[in-house]
């Protein structure tokens, strides 16, 4: 018996520049249909379209809503360290999605700073569960990298907030040394 050979089907992947050029030749109704079709296939596409249509014009309000939502999620954390770490990772996935939607370094820093503030407020102060410590220190590293990419004036403002978080963390956690994370 002869082996069956399958031909490899491939759809050519075009770059964004090619797609942008092609979209300029289509009328508005066709573009609306494309967006709706795109939103039908993935939940994240639908969420991005919803953000761009309804929330992108009010970034401050969107940031405030997300910060409030994550604060509520932190207030509902379980007491078990393993479950707490799992819930924090879920919160971080949500924040990462919103950071990607917004595409703004300032928003990224705002979200990560609020995450760290909530962590300090709601995390178990007595325990030193290593995955929990790593979650916190990784977010501090992300903040440092994001601050470095900003304009000098904004760097100064966010550096002050970052230093305040470091001081607060050193007061609250026995395992934390702010000198390891200073800018």
pLDDT computed for residue 147 by the predictor: 94
118 occurs within a structural domain: yes
Task: Answer whether 158's CB lies under 8 Å from 166's CB.
Answer: no
- Is residue 160 a part of any domain in this protein? yes
Query: What would the mean pLDDT of 77-99 be, rounded to a whole number?
Result: 93
Predicted model pTM? 0.84
Residue 119 domain boundaries: 58-180
Kindly state whether residue 171 falls inside one of the protein's structural domains.
yes
Contact 98, 66 (CB under 8 A): yes
How many separate domains does the chain show? 1
pLDDT band at 9 (very low <50, low <70, confident <90, very high): low
Answer yes or no: is 80 within a domain. yes
Kindly state whether residue 39 falls inside one of the protein's structural domains: no
Higher pLDDT, 34 or 143: 143
Asked whether residue 35 is assigned to any structural domain, the reply reads no
The size of the chain, in residues, is: 183
**Cα separations (Å) of 86 from 80, 83, 105, 120?**
10, 5, 26, 17
Q: Is residue 131 part of a domain?
A: yes
Asked whether the predicted pLDDT for residue 130 surpasses 80, the reply is yes
- How far is residue 104's CA from residue 96's CA, in Å, rounded to a whole number? 12
Residue 88, domain member (yes or no): yes
pLDDT of residue 10: 64
Q: Using one digit for the tens of pLDDT, what is the confidence trace for 106-129? A: 999 999 999 999 999 998 777 778
């Amino acid at each position: 018996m002869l082996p069956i050979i399958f031909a490899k089907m491939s759809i050519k992947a075009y770059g964004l520049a090619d797609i942008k050029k092609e979209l300029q030749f289509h009328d508005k109704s066709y573009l609306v249909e494309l967006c709706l079709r795109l939103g039908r296939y993935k939940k994240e596409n639908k969420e991005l379209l919803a953000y761009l249509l309804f929330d992108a014009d009010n970034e401050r309000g969107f940031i405030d809503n997300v910060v409030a939502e994550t604060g509520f999620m932190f207030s509902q954390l379980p007491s078990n360290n393993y479950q707490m770490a799992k819930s924090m990772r879920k919160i971080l996935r949500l924040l990462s999605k919103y950071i990607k939607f917004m595409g703004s370094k300032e928003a990224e820093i705002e979200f990560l700073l609020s995450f760290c503030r909530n962590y300090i407020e709601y995390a178990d102060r007595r325990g030193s569960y290593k995955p929990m410590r790593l979650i916190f220190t990784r977010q501090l590293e992300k903040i440092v990298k994001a601050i470095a990419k900003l304009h000098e004036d904004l760097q100064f403002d966010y550096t002050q907030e970052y230093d305040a978080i470091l001081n607060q963390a050193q007061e609250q956690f026995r395992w934390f040394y702010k000198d390891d994370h200073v800018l």
